């Protein structure tokens, strides 16, 4: 649905911190499914952990948040989307976060987020991350869209 070029038109993140490769499903104002291909060539694996590479949980949560940012911006009106070029999404809270299985190089990390609440510029999202259908992480994310 959205490739990395389209995602870069929405999110300000760039290598090595753009953590969404493709959006595969999007229901504006409701839900999004996106993924990231985890590669051994990513800089984080130099130190996490040498000889036993594990993708950091905080990066999984950040990837979920970035997918949520795409959902929020794509759910906006055309006028709001144009103004979005001067906006950024900030975390307000991360609640009920759990890491269930390690993510390793070669995995396709799928982000599934659903809107729990949306009021004004504040979004509350239920986020889950999967690898091959197995739940690897989950969290409730609260974020606010603000001026840069």
Tell me if residue 48 is catalytic. yes
Q: Which residue has the tokens 């590669």?
A: 39
Catalytic one among 48, 52, 112, 118?
48
Strands 134-147 vs 87-99: parallel, antiparallel or unpaired: antiparallel
- Please, which residues bridge with residue 129 across strands? 111, 137
Contact between 24 and 34 (Cβ < 8 Å): yes
Q: How much is the CA Rg of the chain, to the nearest whole Å?
A: 15
> Nearest Cα to 127, choosing from 108, 145, 142?
142
- The residues annotated as belonging to the active site are 48
């Amino acid at each position: 649905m959205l490739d990395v070029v389209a995602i870069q038109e929405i999110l300000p993140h760039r290598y090595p911190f753009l953590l969404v490769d493709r959006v595969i499903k999007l229901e504006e104002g409701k839900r999004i499914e996106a993924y990231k291909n985890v590669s051994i060539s990513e800089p984080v694996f130099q130190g996490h952990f040498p000889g036993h590479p594990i993708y950091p949980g905080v990066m999984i949560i950040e990837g979920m948040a970035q997918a949520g940012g795409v959902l929020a911006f794509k759910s906006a009106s055309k006028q709001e989307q144009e103004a979005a070029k001067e906006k950024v999404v900030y975390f307000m809270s991360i609640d009920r976060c759990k890491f269930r299985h390690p993510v390793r190089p070669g995995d396709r990390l799928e982000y599934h987020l659903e809107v729990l609440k949306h009021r004004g510029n504040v979004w509350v999202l239920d986020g889950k991350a999967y690898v091959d259908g197995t739940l690897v992480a989950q969290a409730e994310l609260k974020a606010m869209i603000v001026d840069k």
